[in-house]
Structure formats: C-alpha cells, structure tokens
Amino acid sequence: MKTFTYEKPATPEAAVRDAGTTGARFIAGGTNLLDLMKLQVETPDTLVDISRLDLAKIEEREDGGLTIGALVPNSDLAADRRVVAKYEVLSRALLAGASGQLRNKASTGGNMLQRTRCYYFYDTAAACNKREPGSGCSAIGGFNRILAVLGTSEQCIATHPSDMAVAMRALDATIVTLKADGDRRRISVHEFYRLPGATPEIETVLETGELITHIELPAPPKGKQAYRKVRDRASYAFALVSVAAVVEVQDGVIASASLAFGGLGPMPWRNPAVEAALVGKAPSDEAFEAAATALLADAKGYGSNDFKIPLARRTLIATLRTVTGA
C-alpha cells in the first residue's frame, strides 16, 4: 500500500489550498477513486476529504433553474421533486446508472469527473496512454467492445462512463469551480471536457487544485425529455449507447432539439449538426435518419465495437420517435 497524507478541510477555500500541489486528489463519495487506488492506477500523495463541506444543497435560481451542490448524492438529485418535474432527463439518467447503494454515496461533482472503465486503463500490466503517457494503447487492436467510435485519436479510444454527464450536456449545464488561488470561474459543460488528441491523460480543463463546487442548470427546457440507455444487462452496467433528448414540437414541426450521447465518445457527446438536421423538419423517419447520419459521419469502429455504429443509429431513431410521438 502506498502511504498518503489525509486532509480534512473545513471550507472550500481550505480544500483548494490543501489540494494545490501535484499529487493531491479530492475525495467525496470515493466510488471511483477508491477503486483506482486499490488497483494502484492512481496513487495520490494527498487525499483532501471534501465530504463534510457545505456543498450538498439544491437551490432554486431566480431564472427558474437550479444550483446543485457538488456533494449532492446522486440518489437525492434523482429524487428531488424539482428535478423529477422539470428535468426528467436528468432524473432518468441518474437512475440508469450504478446501483442504489452507489447512488447513495456518489456525488454530483464526482460523477462528472469519473474516469473511463476501459479494461486496459484498469490493468496496470497493459499499455495505456491515459494511465501512463507514451506507453501505447492496448485497446486499439485489442478487445474494445465498450470503447469509443467518435472523437478518438491514435493515442486513446476510451469512453466517458457517466450517464448523468450526458444529461447535463443535453441540458446546457454550467460547472462552477473554485481555483487554488481563490478565484472562481464558470465553465460551460460544452467546454469542460477535452478530446484525447495527443494528451489523453488530460480529461478536463480543470487546473491543479481546482474544485467543482456547484453545477447550474438553466430554466427548464421546453418540449419532451427522454433518456434511453442500451447496455449488456438491465441494470448496473455502463452504456454501450445512450441518448439524452429534449425535443419540442410545435405545429407539427420540430421547434428545438437538444441531444447528447453516451457510450460513443471520450466525453458526453453532442454534435450541433445532429440538431440542425431536425429543427424545422416535421417528425419523420427521414428526418431522424438524417440526424443519425450527421451523428455518425465521422464514426470509426475498431473491430469489437463496430456494432456500436448501427446500434447508435437505431437508438437515436427510437428515442426521437418517443419524444416526438412520430
């Protein structure tokens, strides 16, 4: 076992000071980090326990939206009456993830930051550029059934595993952080994650010691919401393909559409071309096929995961039929 220093700050400001050095990690619910530490995939020098900070509230905003504390448990967020009534896609995404016990412990901020479940990332005997930059990628040419077909690079084809983050991207959430120097910033979820490129080990735009304190949801969107998840078994499995959809139909025409996807890319995936293919069109299989074609225009399978491309097409079309009544 690798020894580490344990800090228990009383305030967010103290937490970011404690985590301001390389080798420090925040821990809240620990549902992902503890597993990684047991396998020595991650070996932090310092653990900064933020679980007792006052960041576990869900509050209404003047614009009709919600501010969600980073330490709100996934179970509490999924069951909140305001989330169930106004952000159904988020509630359904949360309930589609993990088990009840894990949802009781997992935090909102931690869920956004959970790391890939790529087999080779977890196997320290395998080559993984995300775990050890420059070592190679065993997934390319290996068993890659659950891995990405969009946004990949020659360095990494891992997927982002979060269901909740997919719904957050469809809802245009904003992530609020506190930096190690005490400054705060607000980051659109669209700008929060990074593609792997040549540096797959850098997954977000967060700086060293920067702490997620809240997530802001804008006013509830118009239209019907749905979250569809396709997986290997009915529960406790990560998505092969998932779709978070918010679609408004007016006078027989799609007036607005917001679509995000899980299981396909290294981040919760969203492509404006997919929505552009739908807006202004009457709900129909022809329009839905055009949206699926836009989504998968740059898709690339790596052998074991080739099936994801036709599966994503079928899943998107089925979801669009549900939310439009077509």
Q: Is the pLDDT of residue 236 over 90?
A: no
Tell me what pLDDT residue 98 has: 87
Q: Dihedral sign, CA of 107, 108, 109, 115? A: positive
Neighbours of 64 (CB within 10 A): 11
**Overall average pLDDT of the 201-208 stretch:** 97
Phi, psi of 166 (to 5 degrees): -65, -45
Taking the C-alpha atoms of residue 244 and residue 221, their distance in angstroms, rounded to an integer, is 13
How far apart CA 105 and CA 82 sit, in angstroms, is 21
Contacts of 40 (CB under 8 A, 6+ apart): 2, 124
d(CA 219, CA 124): 44
User: Which residues are bridge partners to 245 per DSSP?
Assistant: 226, 259
Task: Calculate mean pLDDT across residues 103-129.
Answer: 97
Q: What pLDDT does 235 receive?
A: 81
pLDDT band at 22 (very low <50, low <70, confident <90, very high): confident
Helix (H, G, I), strand (E, B) or coil at 323: helix
CA angle 125–130–131, rounded 5-degree value: 40
Tell me the two tokens of residue 44: 């932090």
Q: What is the pTM of this model?
A: 0.97
**Mean of the per-residue pLDDT values of the chain:** 97
Predicted confidence (pLDDT) at residue 185 exceeds the cutoff of 80: yes
| pLDDT tier, 1 (very low <50, low <70, confident <90, very high otherwise) | confident
